Structure 1
Amino acid sequence: MVGRAAVNITGTDESYWFKGDKYVRYKWTPGTGTDSIVYGPTEFVKEWPSLKEAGFNQIDAIMPIPGHDHRAYFFSGDKYARIEYVPGTANDKILGGVRPLKGNWLSLDKAGFKHVDGALLVPGKTDEVYLFCEEQYVRIKFTEGQINDELLDGPKAITTGWSATGFKSIDTIIPRPDNEKNAYLFSGDKYVQIEVAVGGKDKLVSDQRDVASYWPSLHKAGFY
């Protein structure tokens, strides 16, 4: 758990990025290297009442919830919260309380995952997601707000199922906003862009690169 996570803000060219106890609102254009910090970095507990209420001191992964532009699962250590937020305001709220992963994500219990390092919705699906923990990953089926998730695939080694990345572990994931099949996967100070092929071989769109060189504003903000 490196305490780093990101989520795109639907309908904009911006994303929220979290690292440690800080967050930024980040503007970027995929494939150009053009980026800027719109707001921050600042402590997220000062501006996200839901995260303060949850008692989270870092965000490890964020999983967007399909069908809701501004709703997501936020994972922190062995706990999680379902949060609805309004970009640019402090009107975010917890839906359903703060809960332990154990007993609430049956698929993760089965896989032996005690925390979540990254999450990526399966392209073309509204009820499936890849979840990453240390050097392994799973694909699960879920229903928002219900304890009925199913383990569909895994746990498997990232080096096996995501061999195109060249990474042993993945600590941050953000989908490419203009192409749902593509995603950026980060590991330490490197990243790759891949085209996700469910059940097949992922295609490497751009090979391992230094985050600092291609996401300069995140580097200046101290996130990399």
Structure 2
Amino acid sequence: LPVPGDAHRFWVFSGDQYLLVHVAGDRSGKGRLQEPRPLTDWSNSIGAAVGFPHGVDAVMPVPGVQGRFWVFAGSEYMVVEVGASPASARRVSGPSPIAQWRKTFGGLERFTGKIDAVLPVPGDAHRFWVFSGDQYLLVHVAGDRSGKGRLQEPHPLTDWPSLRPFRTD
């Protein structure tokens, strides 16, 4: 989750903890800027929601709204506005079931049960690759989560060229 106003700092979540890191294009940067802290530090947003203090699975920026993100944990999501510190982040809405994203994840039990990761499509603020288990799909979202929804059916990770095993023969 990017820290507002600093293109090199990110909050990184793992289980019921988070930490602050500083990265550069070559991965080096300054590294870890703090020791792991409990998610309860995010008391005005994710740390106060039932189920979310146990972990954050994925985050996805809300297109067109600076500093606003969808945060996913298990089968639920919420909308959070980040600030300069975890305590200044605030929950805008949720938690709500991922299954509410009918055009995007409707009928896809794997994705409504848990989203593992989200990657933005370069050059398009509304398109994202969404990963769950051993599958991925391409979605188009708008600020209200509707957008055009699912742009393809789920595919196995083995179809993703970058994730195929490297062959030397």
What SS is found at the alignment partner of 1:137?
strand
Counterpart in the other structure of 2:88: 148
Structure with the bigger percentage of strand: 1
Moved over 6 A (4+): none
Aligned mates of 1:105, 1:94 — CA distance in 2:
22
Counterpart in the other structure of 1:161: 101
Would you say 1:188 and 2:128 are equivalent positions?
Answer: no
> Of residues 135, 153, 157 in structure 1, which corresponds to 2:75?
135
Per-residue deviation, 1:176? 0.8
Aligned mates of 2:102, 2:133 — CA distance in 1:
16
Identity %: 28
Per-residue deviation, 1:186? 0.7
Would you say 1:106 and 2:52 are equivalent positions?
Answer: no
Q: In structure 2, what residue type is equivalent to 1:209?
A: H
Counterpart in the other structure of 1:199: 144
Counterpart in the other structure of 1:70: 8
- 1:72/1:84 contact within 8 Å kept: yes
Per-residue deviation, 1:93? 2.4
Would you say 1:208 and 2:148 are equivalent positions?
Answer: no
Aligned mates of 1:142, 1:66 — CA distance in 2:
7
Per-residue deviation, 1:96? 4.7
Aligned mates of 2:58, 2:102 — CA distance in 1:
13
> Of residues 61, 65, 68 in structure 2, which corresponds to 1:125?
65
Check 1:79–1:200 CA distance in 2 against 1; reply closer, same or farther (3 A cut).
closer
**Runs (5+) with no aligned partner, structure 1:** 1-62
Question: Cα deviations across residues 59-118 of structure 1 (Å, max 9, x unaligned)?
Answer: xxxx23354333211111111112111232533323354311013343113322120000
What SS is found at the alignment partner of 1:177?
coil
**Runs (5+) with no aligned partner, structure 2:** none
